[in-house]
Amino acid sequence: MLEINLSGLELKSPIILASGILGVSYSSMKRIFNAGIGAVTSKSIGPNPRKGYKNPSIIELFPGTFLNAVGLGNPGIDNFLSEIKEIKEFNIPMIVSVFGDSANSYLNVATKAEQAGADAIEINISCPHAEVSSIGINKDLTYKVVKTLKDNLKVPVFVKLNPNVTDIGKIALAAEKGGADGVVAINTLGAMVIDINTKRPILAHGSGGLSGKAIHPIAVKKVYDLYQLLKIPIIGCGGIFTWKEVVEFMLAGANAVQIGTALYKGVEIITEINNSLIYYIKNNGYSSISEIIGLAHEYKTQEVPDFE
Ligand SMILES: Cc1cc2nc3c(=O)[nH]c(=O)nc-3n(C[C@H](O)[C@H](O)[C@H](O)COP(=O)(O)O)c2cc1C
């Protein structure tokens, strides 16, 4: 009932672990696998080991809403290959999120990940507090990176979109033209908080990316708008805490979803979400969750009146 096919990946649930949330270690994977996750995405991995930003690098602004600037700290692809091989044992689709400083360095990281057994690649062109965001705001660079990877890899390639742009549709269309097998909408929103006593930004990096509850309605609109433009699948991401946000994303047009921030409450919520989704599907007379994808578009919204 919850099984979906995402660009050739067979998922037992449409819920995917978002990038950067849990370390992809054997023990955390075991917990999340047992909780019923459909697929996992690794933290974004680059060509070389990289330290993240100093603390404070993450704070909870309102209940369930976080601001972070962890700065893409990661062990580098060569030190990550053994983890990819270890995760393969779980027999669950593994998406490796990659970044680089040129199209060829993205390809280099992605090729090594594919050879180690990654089932799909997610291109991070969108982290708002790192230099890769400059790709995700430029349709030509986005096309170039996506095309370079698609021309050389066999596994599906997803593109994680940057919401910090005037027109996310243009970037998504460039990704589709480059051959992307799907887009993930959205990464965190650029944001800042300032301490009124010390009179300085709270995060060591200054600004960061907003995630969790506050960004959910923004992400829903992005998915809704992208559904009207794209032919490739959309993976909704942003502020999922319960089954209701999953249903909302799918009604807006998502084929699958990613969950991040909410997992600070424990991975058990995945089991709860899966169980409630089955209940919702049955209760509404459907036999598969795929039947609800895009249904919100059947409702004709009021048009903007002509300018007089
Ligand atoms: C602490 C933290 C680290 C993150 N690291 C990454 C990352 O390495 N790569 C990436 O593409 N997204 C990263 N993200 C963004 C999430 O994958 C996700 O797009 C975002 O948090 C919105 O989903 P959520 O509201 O469910 O958390 C990170 C988010 C958080 C909170």
pLDDT tens figures, 291-307: 999 999 999 988 888 88
Average pLDDT for runs of 10 along the chain of length 308:
97 97 81 95 94 93 96 93 89 95 94 97 81 82 96 98 95 98 97 97 95 98 98 98 98 98 94 98 98 96 83
Q: Which of 2, 32, 123, 127 is catalytic?
A: 127
Residue 163 Cα to ligand 1 middle (Å): 13
The answer to whether 62 touches 122, Cβ cutoff 8 Å, is: no
Which atom of ligand 1 lies nearest, measured to the CA of 259? Answer: 26
Domains and CATH numbers, the chain: 4-298 (3.20.20.70)
pLDDT digits (tens, 9 = 90+) for 115-157: 999 999 999 997 666 666 678 889 999 999 999 999 999 999 9
Distance CA 3, CA 46 (A): 31
Residue type at 115? Q
**pLDDT of 184:** 98
State residue 195's pLDDT score. 96
CA distances from 189 to 97, 142, 161 (A): 18, 19, 11
Backbone CA torsion sign across 131, 162, 96, 179: negative
pLDDT at 303: 85
DSSP structural state of residue 203: B
- Residue 127 appears among annotated catalytic residues: yes
Q: Which residues line ligand 1 (CB under 6 A)?
A: 18-20, 43-44, 58, 66, 68, 70, 72, 97, 124, 127, 160, 187-188, 211-212, 215, 237-240, 259-262
In this predicted structure, what is the pLDDT of residue 28? 82
* Residue 206 confidence (pLDDT): 95
The closest residue, in CA terms, to atom 10 on ligand 1 is 19
Burial class of 7 by CB neighbour count within 10 A (0 to 12, 13 to 18, 19+): middle
Q: What pLDDT, on the 0 to 100 scale, is given for residue 281?
A: 97
Question: Sign (positive/negative) of CA torsion 256, 52, 96, 131?
Answer: positive
Name the pTM for this structure: 0.96
